Structures are given as structure tokens and as C-alpha cells.
Amino acid sequence: MLEINMKSPAHSPITHFFISLMLVARSFAASPDFYSVTDFNAKGDGKTDDTAAFQKAMDAAGKAGGGVVYAPRGNYFFAGHLNVPAAVTLKGVWESVPAHNGIRDAGLPEPTDDGTTFLVTESAGREDGPAFLTLNHNSTLKGVVIYYPDQNPAEEPKPYPYAIAMRGKNPAVLAVELLNPYNGIDASRNERHLIRDVQGQPLRRGIFVDHIYDIGRIENVHFNPWWSMKPKLFEWQQNNGEAFIFGKSDWQYVFNTFCFGYNIGYKFIKTKSGDCNGNFLGIGADDCFTALEVKQGSNLGLLISNGEFVSFRGPDPTMIRVGTNNVGSVRFVNCSFWGQCHQIAKIAGKGTVGFSDCTFVHWDSKKEGRHAIQAGGGNLIVRGCEFQENKPQVEIGPAVRRAVVTENLIQGKLRVANHSSGVVIMKDNASDDAKP
């Protein structure tokens, strides 16, 4: 056994550090719960198909009751797909999610060797195949880059299945870069999923959540066009891309998430399983044609706090859309809305939509007399907000049942168009033309 006197004056602090690192690495490598894919003949050369080697390593860990399957630095080529058994972690070198402005360095024919990179090629041209990697009960993917080398950054993207599917109980995706998948993460049909520290540029769909009956968590996720903003591809993404899609989820928790350059930033729909209720804190959508759309939400509520929403491009740039089928409650608290859009919100349906302590900076970009908030149905609450432009603020349509517009700060003249025969309370708004 190697014995080292860590208190010896002959050892400098740097020497101590490297000795400690060596001992930790040796202990980790000697652990019966640790498996390296290189021991199962994975090459990581960017050319050899490593699908079978990875699966053998993970199956060995699974048969042993679980463990860590380690993929050291390399470019691992996959012609097939992977299944991570229960209680197995597939881990690369990254402890924190990396970021790349395109994984290929200028003039180099092969991907860069700066970490653990998965090169995915199966099912090019179709979406209906299995996900590249499926997580199961208590299994985890951590510290890798997922890259589709056959996507052309200058053209409309090829369809592919989801890069990751999360199944079973407590599956986790940690510190992963989804550099350019067509579809990112299918987080449906599981319990208590955890998606944390994920970045990249999913092109068609980022994260899809559905059929969740025990709380799922999405934290620190950032989708930004690092891989390509070349006109043809980026225009396609803005016309078709959806960053976060929520179907049935029973109290979904979403914290510190952001997306840029999609058709819809956050989309709430009803599926065969149901609709979504949840807590959304510190979420953002920038340069999306529609920042957030509620086709249908749960009457238990979508609670959206400290968000920032920006729309200024597209055929009808709008921050918030609530559809005709919505019967749920949607509440925005302490959110900021800016960008030269047509309107802040278009609201329909029979549910309740509320804005409290929010800041509205820009709207009516073409100076057509559009109101910032246009309510066509249901119930509306606008309370304690600030309208920073001297333009029409709120339109209450004939189908609105009840509305409260109170205690708002108004730049210029209060301009609320009330066409409702229902109960409308409007008072204590501080506008420039209000009497002291």
C-alpha cells in the first residue's frame, strides 16, 4: 500500500494537491461501483461505433446493482441508442455544464477534444425512433456534450428523435450540453425528474413534460443559439421551435430557465393525461415570436414570478397568449415585459389571468392604438403594475365576466376600453391626468 506523509515539509501545497487528487482518483478507480467504458473497448476516436461498448459497461453496472459508468475525455461515435439501467450513472468529465460556439474549431475536420462528447447519428430524418439515451429508475446522465454531427448549421435541420428520454422514478440529467439536437429532453412518464444545469440549442423542442403525477424539477436551464444563427437554420427555429412544453404535470417546479430565438418560449397544453399546474420562478424568454402561450392550464394555477419576457419579431409579436380553451388560472407576479411588440397579452378562454406588480415597457410598436393587455374572455386582474408608455393600457372585451384594474401607475392618460357587461372594478390608478 502506498503511504505518504502529507505533513512532510518536503511537500509544497501544489504537491499536496496533486497527491490528494491521485489518491482520490486511485480510490475511485478501485471502487467496485466504478466502470470505465474504455475497459469495455470504447474508443472515443469519433469514428468507431461505441454503442455496444457503452451498453456493455452500463449493463455490467446494472447487474451489479448500480454504479458509475465513466466516459473519459473523447469523441464517442454512436450509430445506435443507449439504455441506462436502474441506479446507474453515466458520467463524463464535466462537473459543470460547458458551452461551445459550435463544437468544431475553425479549420479542424474533427470535433475538439476538450471533454466527453457524444456524436449521435441514429434515426436521421425521422422523429419516431427511440431516444438516443433513455434514463430509468434512479439513473443519471452527467457531464457530457450531446452533438449531432450530421446537422448542417446553414440549412433547415434534419428531424431526429429526442436526445434523452426520462422514465421511471427519480431520473436525472445534470451538467449536460445539448449542443444541437432536433429534440432535446422527453421528460414524460416518470416521477420526480430532475433536470439541472443544462444548456445548448435544441432546434425543434427543448424539454417536453407530460404525464407527471409526482413533482418534477427543472433548474438552471439555458437554451441559446450557440451552435448556429445562420439565417436559414435560425429562421426555421424561430418559425417552428418550442423551448419548454408542459402537458400534464402535478405541481411542476421550474427555476432560473431561459430561452432565446424560438417561436414559443414556454407552451402549456392539454394532453390525454391532463394539463399543468406549477411554480415557475425566474423564467425568461427573449426574442421569441410568443414568449409564453397557454393553450390550456389547470385551474389549480400556473404561478409565474420574477419572469422576463421579450417579443419583437414575427408576424404578430406578443409576449403572452392565452387560448380560447383555457379554463385555468394564470398569474404573473413581479414580471417584466419589454421589446417592440404589438401587444403584451392576448387573452381568451374562461379562466382567470392576473398581472400583479409587473412592469410593461413596450407595446403597440406600429402605433396602431393597440392596448397592452387585450382580454377577450374569462376574468382579468391588473393590479399594482406600471405602464411605462403613453399608449392604451387595457381592453376588456364583451365576453369578459369580471375584471379588476386597480392601483396601477400610468404614463400619460388612463386609457382602458371596457366593453364588458360583467362586473368591472376600476379605481385608484395613478395616471398623469388624474386629479390629486
Domain assignment of residue 13, yes or no:
no
pLDDT given for residue 114 in this prediction: 82
Residue 23 in any domain: the answer is no
pLDDT tens across 92-125, in order? Answer: 999 999 887 655 544 444 556 689 999 999 999 9
Q: Is the dihedral of CA 303, 343, 284, 206 positive or negative?
A: positive
* Inside any domain, residue 92: yes
Please check whether residues 296 and 353 belong to one and the same domain: yes
CATH number reported for the structural domain that contains residue 48 in this entry:
2.160.20.10
- Give 226-254 pLDDT, tens digit per residue: 899 999 999 999 999 999 999 999 999 99
Considering the domain architecture, whether residues 108 and 62 belong to the same structural domain is answered as yes
Torsion sign across C-alpha atoms 376, 304, 274, 266:
positive
Return the ∠ at Cα 410 (arms to 404 and 413), rounded to 5°: 105
First CA to last CA distance, the chain: 85
Closest among 244, 306, 235, 248 to 278, alpha carbons compared:
248
pLDDT band per the 50, 70, 90 thresholds, residue 395: very high
Q: Band of the pLDDT at 30, cuts 50, 70, 90? A: low
Average the pLDDT over each of 4-18, 154-168, 353-367 and give the range with the smallest value.
Answer: 4-18
Q: Say if residue 193 is in the same domain as residue 264.
A: no
At 237, give phi and psi (nearest 5°): -60, -40
Among the three residues 197, 225, 240, which one is the final residue of a domain in this structure? 240
To the nearest 10°, report the CA torsion of 246, 213, 169, 201.
10
Q: Rounded mean pLDDT of the chain? A: 92
Verify that 234 and 280 share a domain, yes or no: no
Q: Model-level pTM?
A: 0.91
pLDDT (0 to 100) of residue 433:
78
| β-bridge mates for residue 49, sequence order | 77
Are 121 and 150 in contact by the 8 Å Cβ rule? The answer is: yes
- Residue 22, in any domain of the structure: no
Closest CA to 243 of 199, 203, 296, 294: 203
pLDDT at 436 over 60: no
pLDDT digit string, tens, across residues 321-365: 999 999 999 999 999 999 999 999 999 999 999 999 999 999 999
Distance CA 128, CA 160 (A): 8
Task: Tell me the C-alpha distance between 220 and 204, whole Å.
Answer: 20
Q: Do 136 and 266 share a domain, yes or no?
A: no
Are the C-beta atoms of 101 and 61 separated by less than 8 Å?
A: no
Helix, coil or strand: residue 296: coil
| Angle 400-404-410 from CA coordinates, rounded to 5° | 115
Q: Would you say residue 235 lies in a domain? A: yes
Q: What CA–CA distance (Å, rounded) separates 30 from 421?
A: 76
| Assigned domain for 2 exists | no
* Residue 163 · residue 186 · CB < 8 Å: no
Q: What is the mean pLDDT of residues 207-230?
A: 96
| Residue showing cell 430524418 | 125
Same domain (yes/no): 222, 278: no
CA-wise closest residue to 327 among 290, 280, 294: 294
Amino acid (1-letter code) at residue 223: F
Same domain, 158 and 292: no
Question: Same domain for 254 and 218?
Answer: no
- pLDDT band for position 1 (cuts 50, 70, 90): very low
Confidence at residue 29, expressed as pLDDT on a 0 to 100 scale: 53
Per-residue pLDDT, 308: 97
User: Are 115 and 221 in a shared domain?
Assistant: yes
d(CA 244, CA 266): 5
pLDDT grade for 44, boundaries at 50, 70 and 90: very high
In a domain, 377, yes or no: yes
Integer angstrom CA distances of residue 73 from 32, 45, 113, 146, 266: 21, 10, 7, 13, 35
Asked if 269 and 331 sit in the same domain, the reply is yes
Residues 133 and 215 grouped into a single domain: yes
Which of 199, 223, 240 represents a domain boundary (last residue)? 240
Transcribe 121-146 into DSSP letters.
Answer: -TTTT-SSS--SEEE-TT-EEES-EE
pLDDT at 373 over 60: yes
Eight-state DSSP code of residue 424? E
The pLDDT value given to residue 23? 47
Residue 5's pLDDT is 46
- Domain match, 358 and 311 both: yes
Paired with 84 in beta bridges are 135
> Can you name the residues that pair with 173 across neighbouring β-strands?
141, 195
Q: Is the pLDDT of residue 53 over 60?
A: yes
Domain that holds residue 136: 30-240
pLDDT, tens digit (0-9, with 9 covering 90-100), for 264-310:
999 999 999 999 999 999 999 999 999 999 999 998 999 999 999 99
Q: Distance between CA 80 and CA 122 in Å, rounded? A: 5
Query: What is the length of the chain?
Result: 436
Q: Evaluate if residue 166 carries a pLDDT over 70.
A: yes
Domain count for the chain: 2
Last residue of a domain, one of 219, 240, 261: 240
The rounded percent of the chain whose pLDDT value lies above 70 is 89
Residue 4 pLDDT more than 60?
no
5, part of any domain = no
Contact 277, 249 (CB under 8 A): yes
Cα 201 to Cα 238: distance, rounded to the nearest angstrom? 12
* Whether the Cβ atoms of residue 228 and residue 102 lie closer than 8 Å to each other: yes
